Amino acid sequence: MNKIGFVYNALVPEAPPFIDSLIESLKLRENSWICSAVDLETAPDLLEQTTLIVVAGGDGTILRTIHVIAPHSIPIVGVNMGRVGFMSELRPENAAEKLPSYLNGDMRVERRMMLYAEVFSPSDDSLVFSAHALNDVVVGRGGVARLLDIATRIDGVDLTSYRADAVIISTATGSTGYALSAGSPIFFPEARMLIMQPVAAHTGLRDGLVLPDSSVVELSVADSRHASLSVDGLDEVDLEPGSTVTVNQSPHEALFLRSEPPTFFYTDLTRRLGLVYNLSGPGN
């Protein structure tokens, strides 16, 4: 029997009782399962017969969930119990009323591109780490107040060597995250592209680059004793001196169920960023 999964942020005390009340009100006790986001990776059997996952938490909880479920092509509905909640669809107060429409398959499926990052050993070029990302992949300094020299190649062609705090490789989804704080423009979330954005660049290109989704980006740090790789702000690994990080388009996609048309993104964006748009104009 097809199941509905309910994933929650264990650090939010209100999340477990909210999930339980939601399941009870929708009479899904026999056709559902519950798991915290941090435990989801240890329970792969839950995903085999799952057709939809409801996530109660913020964007971080959704990202952690996507990392696990993306290979299974399971869509999600986010209930925002965090702060900004760019990826969420519902609020706790309207979830019980609106969720049945999502369960019945009446909603649009929004497909978002993901990234795939690999780290190769400098000694024998073997693969030492790999991960998929929905927001971004960041090569930066590992807690030490110093600039890094980060050499970049695109599709095998040398571009430049950034002297900067970090270089972000972002998706359109990630353009409203860390890349935005570093000066990146905001892109429509279903756009398929790679964004390369330096952070506090001292030399080299200071503006971001928008690359085709077929691009392969290579990043290497000349002296990586204090460099690290961060994936969606969740997974972080130290880089050996001379390591190469390769980033390209992931074969997986993040699937979200949406009730509004794609253009609702613009309305939602102004609300989440606290912007006010005055249609009346001055003097009206």
Show which residues are catalytic.
59
48 CB-near residues (< 8 Å, 6+ apart): 72
